Structure 1
Amino acid sequence: MTLAMSWDEWARHDATAMAERVRRREVTPAELAAQAAAGVAKTNPAVSAVVEVFEDVVADPLRDGMDPGGRFAGVPYLMKDLGPTLKGRLQEMGSLLMRGNRAAADSYLTGRIRRAGLNIMGRTTTPEFGCCSSAENPAVYVTRNPWDLDYTTCGSSAGSAAMVAAGVLPIAHATDGGGSIRIPAGVNGVIGLKVSRGVFSIAPAASDLTGLVSIQGCLTRSVRDTAAFVDACRGGAPGEFMPYWTAPEPCTDLIQRDPGRLRIALSHEWGDYRATAERVGELERVGRFLEGLGHHVEWALPAVDFRAAFAAQTTCYISNFAQTIANLLAPRGLKRPPADLVEPINIRIWEAGLDTSYTERARMQAVFNATSRAFGHFFEDWDIILTPVTALPTPRIGTTEYLTISDNPSVLDWFGNLWRNFAYTPLANLCGIPGISLPLAMQENGLPLGIQAQARQANDGLLLQLAAQIERAIDGKWNAGRVPGVHVAAG
């Protein structure tokens, strides 16, 4: 087939640039979709990140209601196989149990995405029900890191991160219940923003009150694309339990200006959890870089009872996921998760969490409140807190201790092991504050290392403003200008 542009040229375009070319009539949405599909065909055999390409939408980008007059003008987009539904399309959630499951209707956010001019042309991989750190079950699929195929992409927005990193498309859908946008962004070298509570709707099936920690979003390679996605897709559906806030000005306008001098705290000692020396060194290096941009940087930590916070977060996950699984079993007439269709840890989570009492949830919510207040007080004195995205090296493929195919008999021990590596992201979900992973560092194994910035609730714009300042300072060269070995422009 004849491509609309060379792969080198393609990979230099972010979504904003692609949309501008469509508006200038230099390319069409159908040509962009065809090239993105060719990119999937070129890279997916190695990384196994895309479950399905919607060939009918590639042929006709208007087929499912995408608005070509929207901000993104028909730019190709992949949807994580979890979260917002697409009417008539499969949504299998990384699970054998859900094979053949088709959605009856679009979710509210799906409509916002389509009205923004994003052409949803396929599904990306996720661990079963989004409940672990890697899309890695050989019975379903094994998603590999495009930087080094011996390593995981982490998760749970695994396939989306791999496809954006590999240059297949500039933006893809992601979700984050405890780091599932920021962690794969960090280890795949892309940009991942977890917004504050009250930005992207999870209607109609849930709300910010019932979801509590779950956030929608995207993964990109440029700050302006992330800002544009927030501007175009934010907002509550009719009947939201909680108010949806609006920013005083569009993020796309805000990022044109540098922030003032910020008070930035560096931290990696979160209760019992510590980063390796290499990560601490990278964090300090980025801190010095930010001092060079004129910011005040020093070590500081919120006065949080971290043990209580992680225990409460664990209670939240176990009880939430147990109900998720129960809600999937009921329409299928199943009394318990079948051992041949649901992964072992998810069965144990169902067993452990199904009968969580209101008293236990009330204790959990009291800790959530105390933790959120502690972060709130911290952000009276500090604008940003900076951490590594992960504490330990990215796991190699086959490291089952982090996976829901683990044979660990203890759910609590399994979650405790997750926190040892992924401690720095989930408390933002607990508190409803924003966090962003920026591809500013490298691991000793050669994979990217995201540096995470978090801010007070509803200060999402400040995170994007700082990210844009950094992007200008490095001349747009995230990952020090490096690209992964599996990439559309390689070979």
Structure 2
Amino acid sequence: MTLAMSWDEWAKHDAVGLAERVRKGELKPSELAAQAAAGIAKTNPALDAVVEVFDDVVADPLKDGMNPDGVFGGVPYLMKDLGPTLKGRLQEFGSQIMQGNRPAQDSFLTGKIRNAGLNIIGRSTTPEFGVCSSAENKFYVTRNPWNVDYSSCGSSAGSTAMVGAGVLPIAHATDGGGSIRIPAGVCGTIGLKVSRGVYSLAPALSDLSGLVSIQGCTTRTVRDTAAFVDNCRGGAPGEFMPFWSPADSYSELIKRDPGKLRIALSHEWGDYKATPQFVAELERVGKMLEVLGHHVEWAVPEVDFRAAFAAQTTCYISNFAQVIAGHLARLGLDKPTPGLLEPINVKIWEEGVNTSYTERAAMQAVFNTTSRAFGNFFERYDIILTPITAKPTPKIGTTEYLSMSDNPSVHDWFANLWKFFAYTPLANLSGIPGISLPLASQDHGLPLGIQAQARQANDGLLLQLAAQIERAIDGKWNDGKVPATHVTH
């Protein structure tokens, strides 16, 4: 098969750039889809990041209703195998219990994604129900493109590995506690978790009932992320809560530098501290931001971190338990049968299925005090900067972080997870935005994302800062390096 362009040329384009070439008549959406499918075929044997390619929309990008006049007109896109549904397509959540599941309708956000011009050509990998830190299960083991001995982390594992490997410029991701930002941080991509009230979870859920989980994308350029938010945001009819929009589109906003920002560097969050090497990388990035004209100092939000993480744990256990209970009911089961769910997810169901209103009310009270504490902090600072994780990325097969773990205590399992993912979950709890930027590296050679968080609805400021940095480094995220597994190799 003859491809539309060389892999070197392909990897230099972001999604907006590819769409511009389609609009000029230089490329066809079918050529882009064929090239992306060839990229998957080239890299997926090493990365195990794609569950299925939809050959029919590779052949005919208009088949499922993609809008060729959208901002991304014709750009290929992978959908994480949980979250928005695709009518008639398999959606299996990385779980035995979901095998053969074909949703009867598109989600509202699916329609937005297609209307933006993205051609959904396949499904990317995720841990079972997106619960744990790495997509390692009986169906696939997703590896990091920088070093296949290491995890790509999760839960947006496959999408991020494929974007990191240059196969696609943009792909779908979701974030319930860091699941966009963490894999972006360790695979060298850009990952934005937006504030509450941006992307719809309709028709099955709302931000109010979902509470912590946010939709989104992973990309290699700030302008792709900005364009995705601009074109996919907005509530469906009957939302429980208001959806907001900024005065200016982010695509316009990012063309201007932010003013002088008050930036806090932070890593000692209660019981959790980053490794000395991560702290040194954070400090180095802080000095770079000082050169860009910002005020930078060390500070810690006055948050009861133990209470906040305990509340977050209650939220996860009770939320996931209800999701599992719904699927058990769909199959006519009153409890999981052997082999239907991974061990930690069985424990989550057992522990959480009968969570009381009293327990949820106590959880909500801590959500409130935590959100107020971050709100007060952002009266003094515009941005808080942390490493994306507190510990180095684990190797494939590190079962203590997997839902295949034999840990007898689900609470202890989550407590261990928080030691690793210390800096991302509270943004979900509080509804504030956070972005991982590929600005640092780990001792073992993998990227280390540096996370910026801001007050609720200040998503645009995060993108402005990211764009300012991107211009300062001449677009060379990851110091201009590409991973060992990459379409150009």
Shorter chain as normaliser: what TM range?
Answer: over 0.9
Q: 1: CA distance between counterparts of 2:255 and 2:338?
A: 53
Write the deviation string for residues 101-123 of structure 1: whole angstroms up to 9, x where unpaired: 10100000000000000000000
Q: Secondary structure at the match of 1:136?
A: coil
Percentage of matched positions with identical amino acids: 78
CA distance in 1, matches of 2:339, 2:427: 35
Tell me if 1:131 matches 2:131. Answer: yes
Alpha-carbon separation, structure 2, partners of 1:147 and 1:8: 18
Number of equivalent positions = 489
Aligned ranges for residues 188-199 of structure 1 at < 5 Å? 188-199=187-198
Q: List per-residue Cα deviations over 1:192-212 (Å, max 9, x = no partner).
A: 000000000000000011000
**Unaligned residue ranges in structure 2 (runs of 5+):** none
Counterpart amino acid of residue 314 in structure 2: T
**2:303 counterpart residue number:** 304
Partner deviation per Cα, 1:155-202 (whole Å, 9 max, x = no partner): 000000000000001000000000000000000000000000000000
Q: Which amino acid in 2 is paired with 1:391?
A: A
Aligned to 1:75: 75
Partner residue of 1:9? 9
User: 1:264-317 deviations in whole A, cap 9, x for unaligned?
Assistant: 000000110000000000000000000000000000111100000000000000
What's the offset of the Cα at 1:72?
0.5
1:4-83 residue pairs with structure 2 within 5 A? Answer: 4-83=4-83
Q: Deviations over 1:229-257 (max 9, x none)?
A: 00000000000000000111000000000
How far, CA to CA, are the matches of 1:124 and 1:341 in structure 2? Answer: 21
In structure 2, the residue matched to 1:335 is 334
How far off is 1:429 after superposition?
0.2
Unpaired runs of 5+ residues, structure 1, are none
Matches of 1:337 and 1:476 in 2, distance apart? 49
What do the CA deviations read for 1:331-365 (whole angstroms, capped 9, x no partner)?
10011112212100000000000110000000000
| Cα separation, 1, equivalents of 2:312 and 2:340 | 27
Query: Which AA in structure 2 matches 1:187?
Result: V
User: For residue 257 of structure 1, what is the aligned residue in structure 2?
Assistant: 256
Instruction: Give 2:268's aligned residue.
Output: 269
1:278 paired to 2:277: yes
Shift of 1:415: 0.1
Matches within 5 A, 1:411-422: 411-422=410-421
**CA distance, structure 2, for counterparts of residue 312 and residue 339 of structure 1:** 30
Match of 1:98 in 2: 98
The reply on whether 1:140 has 2:151 as its aligned counterpart is: no
- Distance, in Å, in 1 between the alignment partners of 2:346 and 2:340 is 10
Q: Deviation per CA, 1:379-432: give whole Å up to 9, x if none.
A: 001000000000001010010000000000000000000000101000000000
In 2, distance between residues paired with 1:199 and 1:46?
35
Q: TM-score, normalised by structure 1?
A: 0.99
Give the drift of 1:366. Answer: 0.2
Q: Distance in 2 between matches of 1:206 and 1:155?
A: 22
Rounded to whole Å, the distance in 2 between the matches of 1:337 and 1:378 is 44
What secondary structure does 2:26 align onto?
coil
User: 1:173: which partner in 2?
Assistant: 172
Residue aligned with 1:335, SS: coil
Question: 1:404-483 maps to which residues of 2 (within 5 A)?
Answer: 404-483=403-482
Q: Which residue of 2 aligns with 1:109?
A: 109
> Matches of residues 370-389 of structure 1 in structure 2 within 5 Å?
370-389=369-388
Q: Which amino acid in 2 is paired with 1:12?
A: K
Aligned to 1:158: 157
Aligned to 2:240: 241
Take 1:288 and 1:145, find their aligned partners in 2: how far apart are those partners?
29
